[in-house]
Amino acid sequence: MQQIALFGTSADPPTIGHQAIMEWLVGLYDQVAVWAADNPFKTHRSELVDRQRMLALLVQDIQQRYPQVRVQEELSHTRTLMTIQQAQKLWPQTDLTLVMGSDVVPTLSHWYGVEILFQQVQFLILPRPDVPLNPSVLADLQALGAKLAIANFQGPPVSSSHYRHTGDSEDVPACIAAYIQRHHLYSWNPPTCKTDIPPQLLLLTTPPPP
């Protein structure tokens, strides 16, 4: 049976870490479906349309080496249960695995229809060095029926939040950095102000003195 990884990410912005994850998943799954997610548990700094465009640029670059990675924006939904149901329509008779970072795990039990979700999809957790996994949380999720696996993956030490605060160009691929620069997406990258003000006529409301 075909194995498909489902990887929704805030992509705010996509980093070389996201790139490493997608390329690593190719070694485990027949297809990797990605989309820019509107996570109700996060505050996003850029608009969804910009995050979608940035993710598409990154995937376009990855596809030159790994055509199995595809953007599937129709999977983007604020409720993951709806995402999985849409994926089941796109790929019937497949094994679906939802990929998530360890930072998302503590919110999992609060997701809409989570017990139904646990029956329909497996979960692959990507450890993050700044967010260690809590064994008791994992045990509670498994008691609810979650099928969990922890990835043996260690990506580059970068994050979207670090980039948003610092603008460190080494955190993101060149195509993403160029898009951010062009659209002035983050606070450290304001639009350039024009200093050359064209001369204007001075309108006088009273006649000048003789």
- Among 32, 43, 134, 41, residue whose Cα is nearest residue 87: 32
- Residue 195 falls inside a structural domain: no
| pTM for this predicted structure | 0.85
- Residue 140 falls inside a structural domain: yes
- Residue 85 falls inside a structural domain: yes
Digitized pLDDT (tens) for each residue of the chain, 210 residues in all: 999 999 999 999 999 999 999 999 999 999 999 999 887 666 667 899 999 999 999 999 999 999 999 999 999 998 999 999 999 999 999 999 999 999 999 999 999 999 999 999 999 999 987 889 999 999 999 999 999 999 999 889 898 988 998 988 899 999 999 999 999 998 766 554 444 444 444 444 444 454
CA 195 to chain centre: 37
Residues in the chain: 210
- Residue 204 falls inside a structural domain: no
CATH number at residue 9: 3.40.50.620
- Residue 203 falls inside a structural domain: no
- Residue 148 falls inside a structural domain: yes
Tracing tokens 């799954």 back to the chain, one arrives at 29
Residue 68 lies in domain: 3-183
Lookup: tokens for 184: 């002035």
Count CB neighbours of 74 within 10 A. Answer: 13
Query: Quick one: CA torsion of 178, 184, 185, 188, rounded to 10 degrees?
Result: 100
- Residue 94 falls inside a structural domain: yes
- Domain total in the chain: 1
* Residue 46 to residues 17, 30, 82, 84, Cα–Cα distance (Å): 19, 31, 23, 25
- Residue 197 falls inside a structural domain: no
Lookup: tokens for 93: 């008779």
For residues 86 and 192, give the distance between their C-alpha atoms in angstroms, rounded to a whole number: 42
For residues 58 and 36, give the distance between their C-alpha atoms in angstroms, rounded to a whole number: 12
